Structure 1
Amino acid sequence: MIKGQEFIDALKIVAPGLKEILGKDFVLVITDQEQFLDYYPADTFDLKIQRGNQIPPGDPLRLAMAQGCVQSNNISKEVFGVPFKARAVPFYDDNGSVMGGIGVGVSMETEVTVMELSHHLQNSMQDSAKALEHIASTSEMINDIEQVLHQHVTAISSAAKQIKSVLGFVQKMAAQTQMLSINASIESARSGESGRGFGIVAQEIGKLSLDSKTTTEQIKTLTDQIEEKINAAIHGSENVLKANHDQSVGIQKITATIEELTAISEQLAQIAQDL
């Protein structure tokens, strides 16, 4: 409880230097029960109070004196151009009767700016988290598709190897057929006129054998090229799978960081609100 005229007189003496002492920008008003006796404006905002003016009805100072207790209010920026926290305290005479009130308004511009930045940071973090969640979902889908594609390419590579194995068998058969054709031609020559027809058949078999050999060589060349491309595709697919995995790990780390920053910004907003 603030009591005595001597305290008020002392407050009037030190009031001009209080802002420098406390390091805060604020307004200070002193009233009796009906009107403003003294007014000390802030550096950044002015309540336009004139000494001798009547205290408006509903003013925190009137409530503080009427109820005999401290009144606190937060005044928005729209009212005087700067947000501030108002606090009204009644003071008493030596008999315990209310003599008047002391009102202090402390600028909250810094606190409000911190809160606004904090809310902006929270919104940005939430938007970033949603974007990362979408990227992670897309990444998982791409990874699933890439794994299926990798399986298909591996299966094609296995089929290409089987084709090469079959071609090797065909080449072997063509060589054996060619050898049989040569032997048949020799036997046909030994048989003379009676073996001429057999010789013609042997020649045709030899031609087919040569054609088969040429064709299998061409197929083998193409199969080798296909296998080379498939191996390159498998290597690229493995790199993509690894990159997707690394991206997924990176997204998880970034998401964790965003969650930490969001928590910090919420704490910052709470601290600014409590100032």
Structure 2
Amino acid sequence: MNEKNELLDYWVKLAPKIKEGIPFDVMIGVTDTEKFLLYLPASNLNLGAIDGMAVPEGDAIYLAMKSNKAQMVSVPKEAFGIAFKAKSVPITDEHGKVIGGFGIGISLENQQKLSSVAQHFASTSEEIAASTQELSSSALELANFMELLGTAQKEMSEQVDKTAKILTFINSVAGKSKILGLNAGIEAARAGEHGRGFAVVAKEIRSLAEDSARSVDEIRGILRLLNQKVEFIANSVKKATEISHKQSAATGEISSAIHGLVTSAEDIEELSRLL
């Protein structure tokens, strides 16, 4: 056996040990300058019975032998029926002459799976962005309703202040009426049956009573307005509650999307151990 054959035979015998020493599943090929001398398939990457087959142009080993330096290529599915990535080095004799090639290949299935995971990441991110936007919009609606609620409460407070002033007026009328009644009684006692002042006082008392009645009517009107404001507040609170429910649903969608991200992260972590 000549030196060339001895060196190639050495690579053929060494190849299975190299395959065992690599921590992930690969295929290995050894060639002379024309054909495959050895082919060791991977469990997920088997090109078939290619021992003795001519080294095709464009193959990583072919390019390594032609350039006399290491080459890495992605081999399309059209070449062997399976897409894979391969790195090859030329085998040279003691004079540096290329006498063959050695190549290692790994399936692109994991890369394709990683690409799919990346696409899932992108899709999930879009879902999160959409859900977040919806949540933001609902939060804005809620803020607007709360502002209306605050305005209504302010108006109601002003109405209550007016009511307090009217009540103060009524109390004042009551006080005056009491004094006038007392004076009327004194005058009546003095004049007896002929007292004319009593009539004047009585008239004043009636006038004040009428003022009091009008004040009571005004109070009733204000109370009606208060009832309307309270009803508006109740409706606003109801709408705010509905919006909060929408926010809760949107939060649930975000939680689900985040769960999808976690699952994808686990897949990527698993792939990282294989690549």
What band does the TM-score fall into relative to the shorter chain?
A: 0.5 to 0.7
Distance 1:75 1:156, change over 3 A: farther
Assess if the C-alpha contact under 8 Å between 1:5 and 1:93 holds in 2: no
Assess if the C-alpha contact under 8 Å between 2:33 and 2:99 holds in 1: yes
2:24 partner SS: coil
Report what 2:22 is aligned to: 22
What is the rounded CA distance, in whole Å, between the counterparts of 1:158 and 1:39 in structure 2? 93
What is the rounded CA distance, in whole Å, between the counterparts of 2:197 and 2:173 in structure 1? 25
Say yes or no: does 1:212 pair with 2:212: yes
Report what 2:135 is aligned to: 135
Which stretch of the first structure deviates more once superposed, 27-36 or 117-126?
117-126
Counterpart AA for 1:19: K
Report what 1:198 is aligned to: 199
Report what 1:33 is aligned to: 33
Tell me how far 1:42 sits from its aligned partner: 0.9
Counterpart AA for 2:156: I
Assess if the C-alpha contact under 8 Å between 1:37 and 1:52 holds in 2: yes
Tell me how far 1:11 sits from its aligned partner: 3.0
Assess if the C-alpha contact under 8 Å between 1:178 and 1:209 holds in 2: no
Tell me how far 1:54 sits from its aligned partner: 1.9
Report what 1:173 is aligned to: 173
Assess if the C-alpha contact under 8 Å between 2:64 and 2:71 holds in 1: yes
Assess if the C-alpha contact under 8 Å between 1:45 and 1:80 holds in 2: no
What is the rounded CA distance, in whole Å, between the counterparts of 1:166 and 1:177 in structure 2? 16
Counterpart AA for 2:40: Y
TM-score for the superposition, normalised by structure 1: 0.65
Report what 2:70 is aligned to: 70
Counterpart AA for 1:40: L
- Paired residues, number: 246
Alignment deviations for residues 170-229 of structure 1 (CA, whole Å, 9 cap, x no partner): 232144236525644774684537849938x82794497289369739948x859959x8
1:121 partner SS: helix
Counterpart AA for 2:199: F
Gaps of 5+ in 1: none
Counterpart AA for 2:98: V
What is the rounded CA distance, in whole Å, between the counterparts of 2:77 and 2:212 in structure 1? 93
Say yes or no: does 1:120 pair with 2:103: no
Report what 1:163 is aligned to: 163
TM-score for the superposition, normalised by structure 2: 0.65
What is the rounded CA distance, in whole Å, between the counterparts of 2:210 and 2:100 in structure 1? 122
What is the rounded CA distance, in whole Å, between the counterparts of 1:59 and 1:111 in structure 2? 19
Tell me how far 1:128 sits from its aligned partner: 0.9
Assess if the C-alpha contact under 8 Å between 1:171 and 1:216 holds in 2: no
Counterpart AA for 1:143: A
